[in-house]
Chains A and B, each alone.
Chain A
Amino acid sequence: MLSEIAEKIQICVACGTCVGGCLVSRLDKRFRPMRIIHTAVVDVNRLINEPSVWLCSYCYICSERCPKAVEFPDILTRLRNYIAKHGNLPAAYKMLLANISKHGTALELDEFALMEREEYGLPDPSPSQETIKEIKSIINTSGLSVFIREG
């Protein structure tokens, strides 16, 4: 997995353009995209206990401006795959996956929501049982399965 991005992180020329245009970096000193890339180049295992990897907002401004087309957010996604598998991941992400596995969507259309929809003449779009079965099967046969704990 990390081999797929190894080449891309090597082409970073440490110009700092990504940090300069980054709103999160401006508001929060803990977060610096360039520093994350550098740490990954030296030793990706140093990121395993780094909480700031979860602070990128995925606005893709850095990606538009990077002179080397490093595409930081897409690199970070792959780095996060590695980091998450070592146990560092936000509780919210785990919950999101659990919901998707259970309902096929992140938010269940409960009775209240369905009633409100009916008032406006909107149909019930919740995923069918067959759809949910397929989603569960995708989760179980993919790398997502390790993040699902039932019960």
Chain B
Amino acid sequence: MRKYAFFLGCTIPVRSISYEISARKVLEALGIELVTLKEFSCCGPAPLYSLDFYGALAISARNLSVAAEKGLDILTLCSGCFETLLRAKIELEQNVNTRKKVEDILNSAGRKLSTNVNVKHIAILLAKDIGVGELKKKVSADLKDISVATFPGCHLFRPGRALRTSDNPQKPKLLDKIVEALGAKPIEYTGKYECCGGTLSGIDQELSMKMMVEKLRSIAEEGADCIVTACPFCFIQFDMGQQAAKRDLKENISIPVLYLTELIGLAFGIPPEELGLNTHASDVSPLLSKISRDG
């Protein structure tokens, strides 16, 4: 049985627990064991790097060291945590001067630096390590009438050079491949490979909303039954953002937003309430009524 240090990050456990709930269910069904560690902290997100590069890198490095000490690889749900931690590892392994500086900061906090750990995102674990073939075997519900607007987001794939992305970083197909394996139909739409705008909420709310609503409109035009993401920032942007767009912009679009692991859970025949689907802001019932579970 494969075992991972489960890196939840800041946002999911507080603001978006259905990602965690559904991920735990799906991974359990696939025989993956997860270890929750109170030694983990915030990953050291991009805004911290903007304040002080080395301080932020030390916070990321500390998380890597925690997992390395336990001999466990890290599994993330959030694409932001994934990018941060994987890039921290690569940066620390490639740049001796950087490593020395970060080592000094960590030592004074009583922590030994180790980067001897792999960092995986759940979408990559599912599609590449476990493999879409294995996912297919577990499918019991019929999703053939569901057209899915996957939203790949940025940090699972970019920057491609630094993350050594095997997909095309500007047009990644990873989520579509999983959706296809589940028997549903992935669709193309304008803006699919762009940014959701989530990083700008709290900086410029209007701009952040504009970035999301553009995509929401083109997704609605293509008649998608749902939006599927693998990142809490993209999810919150589309899920809660739809409600804000209704209120502030009179934009009357309603499309269920799902986490990748929720769609997989539904395909595996796990009841929606057990996946935490009732915690969403957007109404998921139109989607659920199109899935036949005895398929």
Report if A and B associate in a common complex. Answer: yes
Interface residues of A (CB under 8 A from B): 1, 23-24, 27-28, 54-55, 57-61, 63-65, 69, 71, 73-74, 76-78, 80-81, 84, 89-90, 92-93, 96-97, 100, 104-109, 113, 116-117, 120, 122-128, 130-132, 134-135, 137-139, 141-145, 147
Interface flag for B285 (CB, 8 Å): no
Interface flag for B200 (CB, 8 Å): yes
Report A-chain residues with C-beta under 8 Å of the C-beta of B269: none
Interface flag for B135 (CB, 8 Å): no
Q: Which of B8-16, B176-184, B287-295 contacts A (4 or more CB under 8 A)?
A: B8-16
Which residues B28-80 have CB closer than 8 A to chain A?
Answer: 36-42, 45-56, 58-59, 62
Q: Which of B105-113, B125-133, B220-228 contacts A (4 or more CB under 8 A)?
A: B105-113
Whole-angstrom CA separation of A54 from B47 in the bound complex: 10
Q: In the complex, which range does the number of interface residues on chain B fall in?
A: 35 or more
Dominant secondary structure at the A interface: helix
Interface flag for B211 (CB, 8 Å): yes
Interface flag for B169 (CB, 8 Å): yes
Closest Cβ of chain B to A106, distance in Å, is 4
Check B41 against A135 for contact (C-beta < 8 Å).
yes
Whole-angstrom CA separation of A106 from B56 in the bound complex: 13
* A and B contact pairs by CB, cutoff 8 A, 15 listed: A27-B207, A55-B203, A57-B200, A60-B159, A64-B159, A74-B159, A89-B51, A100-B48, A105-B10, A105-B42, A123-B36, A125-B8, A135-B42, A141-B105, A143-B54
Interface flag for B197 (CB, 8 Å): yes
Residue in B47, B62, B110 whose CB lies within 8 Å of A93 = B47
Looking at A73, A84, A107, A132, the one whose CB has the most chain B CB atoms below 10 A away is A107
Whole-angstrom CA separation of A138 from B211 in the bound complex: 35
Looking at A61, A90, A135, A142, the one whose CB has the most chain B CB atoms below 10 A away is A142
A-B contact count (CB 8 A): 184
Closest Cβ of chain A to B12, distance in Å, is 9
Closest Cβ of chain A to B75, distance in Å, is 13
Check B202 against A92 for contact (C-beta < 8 Å).
yes
Check A142 against B105 for contact (C-beta < 8 Å).
yes
Residue in A77, A107, A113, A122 whose CB lies within 8 Å of B50 = A77
Closest Cβ of chain A to B235, distance in Å, is 15
Interface residues of B (CB under 8 A from A): 8-11, 13-15, 17, 20-21, 24, 36-42, 45-56, 58-59, 62, 105-106, 108-111, 154-155, 158-161, 169-170, 194-195, 197, 199-200, 202-204, 207, 210-211, 276
Check B38 against A125 for contact (C-beta < 8 Å).
yes
Known: A64-B158, A100-B48. A23 touches B195 (CB 8 A): yes
Check A141 against B109 for contact (C-beta < 8 Å).
yes
Check B8 against A138 for contact (C-beta < 8 Å).
no
Check A106 against B169 for contact (C-beta < 8 Å).
no
Report A-chain residues with C-beta under 8 Å of the C-beta of B200: 24, 55, 57
Check B21 against A128 for contact (C-beta < 8 Å).
no
Instruction: Considering the complex, give the chain A residue whose CB is closest to the CB of B39.
Output: A131
Report B-chain residues with C-beta under 8 Å of the C-beta of A55: 200, 203-204, 207
Looking at B47, B62, B154, B204, the one whose CB has the most chain A CB atoms below 10 A away is B47
Known: A61-B170, A125-B40, A143-B52. A134 touches B154 (CB 8 A): no
Known: A105-B41, A134-B111, A137-B109. A117 touches B51 (CB 8 A): no
Closest Cβ of chain A to B239, distance in Å, is 16
Known: A122-B21, A138-B62. A143 touches B55 (CB 8 A): yes
